[in-house]
Chain A
């Protein structure tokens, strides 16, 4: 210790200490006096009030769960509704031996034995008077069986409840999401008292994104109970008058989607048996018209509740049906980014309408023998930008990408929203990836941290590090369609208060436009895309044939770099899963476009052959030229 400090004076310190103890004691006695005064107030002064509340006509407050809002498609067709069903419930504080009760219920096959621990935990975590849902939908047979045994199960009973139902099940599962049992984690996130009577909450998609609107406000009922705490009918006027007022539950709002159910069903059918995703957007508003991920799953199973083994079967499925590929699947975009890159090349002067390249089937960087191959081994010959888009000439883009440079590639793709979350109104989006020098510097070390020209070359055909989600591609193509107007994609367009009938329309959210120095560059690129589908040499001319309207498109084929080489796959399966992904982006009509589509078929091999016909079918349907157009 330092020498300058005064010498310790033990006597004065002890005096100081005793003074402080006296001070603390005084404060302590005052504080404790407060508690004693409070006890006197409660137990002597207000004794009769509390004695009556405790001993006299006792009542208990019960939560009344609000009715969850419905979900409709853009034309008012029901996507999510509430159906009455009988549900098996357990009231923890009324059960004598929780473990034994659950074991016996499992023996009756009313619950799964493996879920007993979960139910025990749920029973302990909430207030004892709050019912725990054991099984959300009982069959008639189960109701009959349980009714016979009811006396053996104090605290367990079946109750009529509304359960969520999705009439179109798997077709809307990824966009709309589902509700599932409230978990402990949910309860920590949500306002506990608001969910006092609620058993379920939105877990994914719109059900989760619009939980606050859909849920509504909890109500309270005051019920008279007997000396054992059981509910009894109020028998006299006095009793009823003594009760506090009930509070009515306010139902949740109905939600109107931007989705078109017909498109949604058509896309689901088109992708049946495949792994892939499709997103269709109205370019003029950002309305998502279809959002499908395949394979899908039945969301009703979540709403009704499934056993742990059913759930883990879904989770462990090799095809990942629970994975929303439309917003979470990040794929190499392949040649589908060529329209956006063409804008970049034209705007920066890396190319112009007159410039041509000689395509001999491959491209090599100066002083290098490495050959970057075109998809067409014999080459496209002398080719300009419109034809390079129409025929998807890789060499044209390889060659000009070196002049364009990765910085410009990054700058322009960034403006189209690639490498960013689109901001769609549901959770879980992948941000994709547009590589840049800075990104590489931050994610690699040593020699690998440098950006190489060869990497620019493969970036020009959407390979290498680049990743995009189907939603991002749809949004980018919608921006090409509108010639630079951008909107935030959204699944919900309106909501309606079910009590007042008042409807709230959500205006489209316009983002920063892309302004070109020369607006005619849009038309050049769109001409190339038009040629893809309706030109003499277009890669997807087969898919574009015999149309009564004008459309634009671009195919893409993305190499699959790696597959988890797990032993359980057989050889054929690995081979199949190494096949290229098929992508397609399109919009129509050319002028005043109404729909933009992006889709991917995993391991579909060819964008123009496999993916393009699906895009065409979607556009036909939406523009009124579908199979049932005459009806």
Chain B
């Protein structure tokens, strides 16, 4: 079956199912199904965002511009063959580490945290690490026989833990967790023994205690408030209480687009950013929320399919990690907005207002597409 697929793809003259449009996609090294899924999510996102920002056209256009930039980033990344990316991976990772240290020492302070670096353009190096860490882990494992041995695992752990700690100290717990997750996923996909996975799960209890000690007071407050939101109804608990009211009152079919009273009477904080899933729940109901989750699952499934088709270790591990990290995003945000997880500040991917994480996400999907479209050029 595998050979048959390869043969089909090697046939460059074969007309893609979408005709002329398909040829353009092919020339641009883009993957039709993945692109379709992403665009549908973005469209639904813009639709909801328009309501969430109070029908403010200016902000919506703003978001569209960001989306455009992100799509360009995706298309650009799709043009680099995986081999090329792999060769540059260690350099990119090292540069990322240097930038993270720079952020901690000289970065700009915003909302009590140092996250931004001003190098002509202001950007967050922690965002780039979301890709650089899994790339580095995949690079390290590429030539090695899998599953990895214990010593190799230790080195991988260091590669992941160092940037994670640097980001957590900014402090930016949400991004730190995502970066750690993206690296961990590579190791698990590479064949980390099940026994070790279970051992790590058990060890995570004292680990969580250590993390608790590292946390800033406001982060601890968020965890405590999750356990009992009503203990602090005006502070950290307010978001969760209001977000649950918004989602719950949406019912099966929702109150209708731009009719959400929680969102529009501004009871719901951060309704256009981290808590936009509550607006979807309120206005489009269970049906709308489930539709969005289905779209997300389609994208993740397509990403995993691409990973399984990938010809070499680096591509396979990287594609798997990008897809599953995207899932972690979706899960953490929706679980946080529905009150299952503490408020860690993870946006709803491709839907929340704001640009930095969208560019990283789309760049990741660009890499996925590159892996899929450059497959034929690689020796098997």
Contacts and interface: CB of A to CB of B under 8 A. Distances in A.
A1 B320 contact: no
B300 A28 contact: yes
Contacts of B334: 35
A51 B248 contact: yes
B223 interface: no
A34 interface: yes
Looking at chain A's contact residues, the main secondary structure is helix
Interface in B295-351: 297, 300, 304, 307-308, 313, 316-317, 320, 324, 327, 330-331, 334-335, 338-340
B234 A193 contact: yes
A188 B249 contact: no
B330 to A, nearest CB: 8
A358 interface: no
Given A9-B145, A43-B251, A61-B233, A38 B320 contact: no
B235 interface: yes
Contacts of B374: none
A13 B308 contact: no
A193 B251 contact: no
B338 A47 contact: no
B357 to A, nearest CB: 20
A84 interface: no
A127 interface: yes
A513 B285 CA distance: 74
Nearest to B335: A35
A46 interface: yes
A47 B281 CA distance: 12
Nearest to A92: B266
B129 interface: no
Contacts of B48: none
Contact of B331 (A6, A32, A93): A32
A54 B234 contact: no
A516 interface: no
A54 B335 contact: no
B145 A49 contact: no
B7 interface: no
Contact of A17 (B234, B244, B289, B316): B316
Interface in A271-330: none
A43 B189 contact: no
A39 B290 contact: yes
B146 A47 contact: no
B225 to A, nearest CB: 9
A54 B352 CA distance: 23
Interface string B228-239: 000011111010
A14 B310 CA distance: 9
A428 interface: no
A228 B265 contact: yes
B286 interface: yes
A8 B265 CA distance: 61
A42 B262 contact: no
Contacts of A248: none
Interface stretch (A19-27, A373-381, A465-473, A622-630): A19-27
A145 interface: no
Given A14-B316, A35-B293, A28 B145 contact: no
Given A9-B145, A43-B248, A50-B249, A38 B340 contact: yes
Contacts of B307: 17, 21
Given A28-B331, A192-B235, A196-B235, A47 B251 contact: yes
Contacts of B317: 17
Contacts of A348: none
Interface string A176-192: 00000000100010011
A13 B188 contact: no
B236 A193 contact: yes
Contacts of A1: 143-144
Q: For this complex, into which size category does the number of interface residues on chain A fall?
A: 35 or more
Contacts of B330: 32
A42 B293 contact: no
A580 B147 CA distance: 79
A7 B146 CA distance: 9
A187 to B, nearest CB: 9
A153 interface: no
Contact of B145 (A7, A34, A36, A44): A7
Contacts of B339: 38
Nearest to B308: A18
A34 B335 contact: yes
B38 interface: no
B289 A39 contact: yes
A128 interface: yes
A272 B249 CA distance: 67
B207 interface: no
Interface in B163-210: 185, 188-191
B44 interface: no
A50 B254 CA distance: 12
Contacts of B338: 35, 38-39, 42
A31 interface: yes
Contacts of B297: 32
B261 A54 contact: yes
Contact of A50 (B218, B244, B304): B244
Interface in B247-276: 247-252, 261-262, 265-267, 269
A50 B241 CA distance: 10
B246 interface: yes
Contact of A196 (B234, B247, B265): B234
A40 B248 contact: no
B245 interface: yes
A40 B339 CA distance: 13
A244 to B, nearest CB: 8
B17 interface: no
Nearest to A93: B266
B120 interface: no
Given A21-B307, A28-B331, A16 B146 contact: yes
Query: Which of B249, B267, B293, B330 neighbours the largest number of chain A CB atoms within 10 Å of its CB?
Result: B249
B19 interface: no
Given A35-B338, A50-B247, A128-B266, A43 B285 contact: yes
Interface in A45-59: 46-47, 49-51, 53-55
Given A38-B338, A42-B338, A51-B249, A229 B266 contact: yes
A139 interface: no
A9 B251 CA distance: 52
A542 to B, nearest CB: 57
Given A43-B286, A193-B234, A17 B248 contact: no
Interface of A: 1, 5-9, 13-14, 16-18, 20-21, 23-25, 28, 31-32, 34-36, 38-40, 42-44, 46-47, 49-51, 53-55, 60-61, 63, 93, 125, 127-129, 184, 188, 191-193, 196, 218, 220, 227-229
- Report the 10 A-B pairs with minimum CB-CB distance, sorted nearest first: A50-B248, A193-B235, A54-B249, A42-B248, A50-B249, A6-B145, A196-B234, A43-B286, A38-B338, A51-B249
Given A13-B145, A31-B331, 18 more contacts: A1-B144, A20-B188, A24-B189, A25-B304, A28-B300, A32-B331, A38-B339, A39-B281, A39-B286, A51-B249, A54-B246, A54-B249, A61-B233, A127-B269, A128-B266, A184-B112, A191-B235, A192-B235
22 contacts: A7-B145, A13-B191, A16-B146, A21-B320, A23-B188, A25-B304, A31-B331, A34-B340, A35-B335, A36-B290, A38-B340, A39-B247, A39-B286, A40-B286, A42-B281, A50-B247, A54-B248, A54-B261, A54-B282, A55-B261, A127-B234, A196-B235
